[in-house]
Structure 1
Amino acid sequence: MTDFSQTRALFHIPEGVTYLDGNSLGPMPRTAAARAKAVIEAEWGERLIRGWNDAGWYVQPRRVGDRIARLIGAGAGEVVMGDTLTVKVFQAVSAALRLAREGRRVILSDSGNFPSDLYAADGLARAVGAELRVVEPEAVEGAIGDDLAVLMLTEVDYRTGRRHDMAALTRRAHEAGALTVWDLAHSAGAVDVDLTGANADFAVGCTYKYLNGGPGAPAFIWTHPRHADAAQPILQGWMGHDAPFAFDLDYRPAGGIERMRVGTPPVIGMAVLDTALDAFDGVDMAAIRARSIELTQRFIAGVEAACPEVTLNSPREPAGRGSQVSFRHPEAYAVMQALIARGVIGDFRAPDVLRFGFTPLYIGEAEVDHAVAVLREVLEGREWDRPEYRSRNAVT
């Protein structure tokens, strides 16, 4: 049985803070600073260039990838780290397009997708003569047709927390002869992802949210083993070459997931991520999911009972929701600033969304109940109606 009181002790949560913004940036693991210091001083400082071999920097992207693989229903040797999420989205979608049936050029996504994913897909589509088609989240299944090449979706909507049925939509796409690319930015580390069980084709994700890798932490990419030696992303870099240190002028892709590497890995950031992943050792993702449902249900019930001024903006049924809950309020920005000033940190999404993320690794019933109580006080006392809270000069 997972003991979440023990995992909570692994994180630094500032005194007086209830942190419900882990879906934008996870808190700092207590071991992060020491790990970064060790890499800088003992590895970089003392080993210099020898660190690539002596300290394992070169194999770090695969080794850390294997640790994430367990959390997303993937196998060993199927996940590799590096670069940013937008780079990985571009790689995955371009590789899927090249594997698509001849003549198919449609990339389908939904309006709840994270805009950066849509930007990357749009740029790719215009460059290669494909079409990005965007529909409402509820219309995705009906929009899967015989012209579809790639279905590109974020599993959990970054604003509402709406969760797509990965297995069902992947099956429908395959029936239509298309491939799938799943963005797990708001899934990995928070819900019970099963890429293998869903028979997905490609998946990507960031690690600074629920995986607590810190700001700018590297992204990951997964390719189903059936595609691993055939996938050919448009963006090719020297670390994905079969013999990167031969410095051949012609590109020859490495075998398997290694071909999805692009640039030099961010060694210090990846070391911090590596130590952050220790919090998941011995943790059952099914237990995290069950606990997440308990916390989000408790929060919804508490807010609806105490705060009639707000309206639920997330699916009510847990099966259709990730590990975040959002409510709507006409003064959401100011309300969130007032909450943050009181030590309850969530975030705002335009135009009127209050968004809260729940991570069982460090959030429990006490934090949920405290957040409900402070939200009620902020609304009842109109604490949000102050000039300093209305001024939109903060990043939230």
Structure 2
Amino acid sequence: MNQTDYAQLDRDDPLAHKRDDFQLPPDIIYFDGNSLGALPKRVAEVVNKTTATQWGGDLIKSWNQHNWVSLPTSVGAKIAQLIGARADEVICCDSISVNLFKVICAAMSAVGSHDRRIILSTRDNFPTDLYMVQGVEAFLGQQRCELKLVDESELIDAIDDQTVAVLATEVNFRTGRRLDLAKLAEVAHSFNALVIADLAHSAGVMPIQLNQWQIDYAVGCTYKYLNAGPGAPAFVYVNQRHHAALKQPLQGWFGHSRPFDFNPDYQGAAGIQRMLVGTPPVISMQAVNAALDCFDGVSLEQVRAKSLQLTHAFQHGLACHDWASEFELISPPQAQHRGSQLSYAHPHAYQICQALIDRGVIADFRAPNYIRFGFAPLYNQFREIQVALEQLADIMESQSYLDPRWQQRLAVT
């Protein structure tokens, strides 16, 4: 694809104006939005106002005066619009790992049968998802909870009448492969099993219809394609049909029906509020709240369409080079079967990634030998693909990735 084609794609891009919402260094090409989204300008403004004016000026009055106390609910309602859920089915709180613990336990409580103990997942699921199940398994014992792992291609066929829930990530963090959550839920429900979906690599970058797909529970983070900042609070979804009997073991005071009565006995709040635990982190919650404004007036169908164009343009552009055969595409070759990333295996993936970063093209590495390029349609441009591929070509042709500087791995890859 030549320069004119890239330029034309940028001119035709209906989301081109959204780039102005973000603070992006002029000399950096950022293809790592699937790990940490770029900073929206509005987030910096709102966080500054929250600290300087609200906290600094109004102090504790801000809980009522600026409605801090309702942030988990109001932010959750904003997220619900992006994932095909009702406003009262989503709440913003805690980390994705903590929320996973809650929904795993909630699913086990909802099924209720001791004859069912299997939490089914895939071997290549994101490790923290598996660690949380292993933690529940160790706490309760295998007679109550047992993690069963299968290959992704075997997941649907592995569901049976001993399955409590299927824990599945919609877009695989390594390969970018997209699961059919609707089909998964249909089969799981035929065995009276539940579905827990991890939306970490799909929320904000593709249309999601949790209600339409009949998903039971879902979790997701806000610091990737939702651009809310490092370590920003996650979200949790519980389908309304499970609200009446909803139970989760982290019974904190904000999940109480009347937290400021300070009753020593726990009485859970109604519905999704029961998923709350402790005091919400107001400053980072305000960052999430502000970041979500970037999606105002944006169609997720448009976002998805641009995502498909970006991955296709990169894939096509890379394939034009003589050295392209050194890179093994581990993402699905068909764009509709993947999320908004392309992952390649290469024996020197880490070193190539570091050499790119040194030249101002930020991608990331995942063990054992994968380099990932994540595309964020709200701010990535097509011309950036051209420049990135030019830099990659020079690195490969000169073999500059063999420089001793790139042989030592950093703590965060």
Q: 1:142 aligns with which of 141, 148, 157?
A: 157
Residue 104 (structure 1) aligned with residue 116 (structure 2): yes
Structure 2 CA distance for aligned equivalents of residues 217 and 392 of structure 1: 26
Secondary structure of 1:58's partner?
A: helix
Q: Which residue of 2 aligns with 1:158?
A: 173
| Matched pairs, number | 396
Amino acid aligned to 2:306:
R
Q: Greater helix share, 1 or 2?
A: 2
Residue 347 (structure 1) aligned with residue 364 (structure 2): yes
Structure 1 CA distance for aligned equivalents of residues 328 and 43 of structure 2: 38
Residue 64 (structure 1) aligned with residue 75 (structure 2): yes
CA shift for structure 1 position 393:
2.2
CA shift for structure 1 position 394:
4.7
Q: Which residue of 2 aligns with 1:312?
A: 329
Which has the higher mean CA deviation after the structures are superposed, 42-51 or 159-168? Answer: 42-51
Residue 27 (structure 1) aligned with residue 27 (structure 2): no
Q: 1:169 aligns with which of 166, 177, 184?
A: 184
Please tell me whether the aligned partners of residues 109 and 135 of structure 1 are also in contact (alpha carbons under 8 angstroms).
yes
Deviations 1:197-222 (A, max 9, x none): 11000000010000000011000001
Q: Which residue of 1 aligns with 2:233?
A: 218
Structure 2 CA distance for aligned equivalents of residues 166 and 240 of structure 1: 29
Q: Which residue of 2 aligns with 1:52?
A: 63
Unaligned runs of 5+ in 2: 1-11
Q: Which residue of 1 aligns with 2:15?
A: 4
CA shift for structure 1 position 305:
2.0
Residue 387 (structure 1) aligned with residue 404 (structure 2): yes
Q: 1:93 aligns with which of 104, 114, 120?
A: 104
Please tell me whether the aligned partners of residues 190 and 292 of structure 1 are also in contact (alpha carbons under 8 angstroms).
yes
Deviations 1:221-248 (A, max 9, x none): 0110101221101222111111111112
Q: Which residue of 2 aligns with 1:119?
A: 131
Alignment of 1:350-361 (within 5 A): 350-361=367-378
Structure 1 CA distance for aligned equivalents of residues 69 and 13 of structure 2: 33
Please tell me whether the aligned partners of residues 2 and 282 of structure 1 are also in contact (alpha carbons under 8 angstroms).
no
Deviations 1:16-46 (A, max 9, x none): 1110000100011112222111101111111
Secondary structure of 1:377's partner?
A: helix
Residue 270 (structure 1) aligned with residue 281 (structure 2): no
Structure 2 CA distance for aligned equivalents of residues 70 and 172 of structure 1: 26
Please tell me whether the aligned partners of residues 2 and 284 of structure 1 are also in contact (alpha carbons under 8 angstroms).
no
Q: 1:16 aligns with which of 20, 24, 27?
A: 27
Q: 1:338 aligns with which of 339, 350, 355?
A: 355
- Over the aligned positions, Cα root-mean-square deviation in angstroms equals 1.2
Residue 258 (structure 1) aligned with residue 273 (structure 2): yes
Structure 1 CA distance for aligned equivalents of residues 267 and 112 of structure 2: 24
Q: Which residue of 2 aligns with 1:184?
A: 199
Please tell me whether the aligned partners of residues 104 and 149 of structure 1 are also in contact (alpha carbons under 8 angstroms).
yes
Normalised to the residue count of structure 2, the TM-score between the two structures is: 0.94
Secondary structure of 2:64's partner?
A: helix
The runs of at least 4 consecutive aligned structure 1 residues that moved more than 4 Å come to: none
Residue 83 (structure 1) aligned with residue 100 (structure 2): no
Structure 2 CA distance for aligned equivalents of residues 2 and 151 of structure 1: 38
Please tell me whether the aligned partners of residues 74 and 195 of structure 1 are also in contact (alpha carbons under 8 angstroms).
yes
Please tell me whether the aligned partners of residues 101 and 177 of structure 1 are also in contact (alpha carbons under 8 angstroms).
no
Structure 2 CA distance for aligned equivalents of residues 112 and 356 of structure 1: 19
Normalised to the residue count of structure 1, the TM-score between the two structures is: 0.98
Secondary structure of 1:108's partner?
A: strand
Amino acid aligned to 2:31:
L
Report the identity percentage: 45
Amino acid aligned to 1:11:
F
Structure 1 CA distance for aligned equivalents of residues 216 and 16 of structure 2: 36
CA shift for structure 1 position 101:
4.8
Structure 1 CA distance for aligned equivalents of residues 337 and 353 of structure 2: 25
Amino acid aligned to 1:104:
R
Please tell me whether the aligned partners of residues 65 and 80 of structure 1 are also in contact (alpha carbons under 8 angstroms).
yes
CA shift for structure 1 position 145:
0.9
CA shift for structure 1 position 308:
2.5
Structure 2 CA distance for aligned equivalents of residues 22 and 229 of structure 1: 37
Structure 2 CA distance for aligned equivalents of residues 385 and 2 of structure 1: 37
Unaligned runs of 5+ in 1: none
CA shift for structure 1 position 2:
8.1
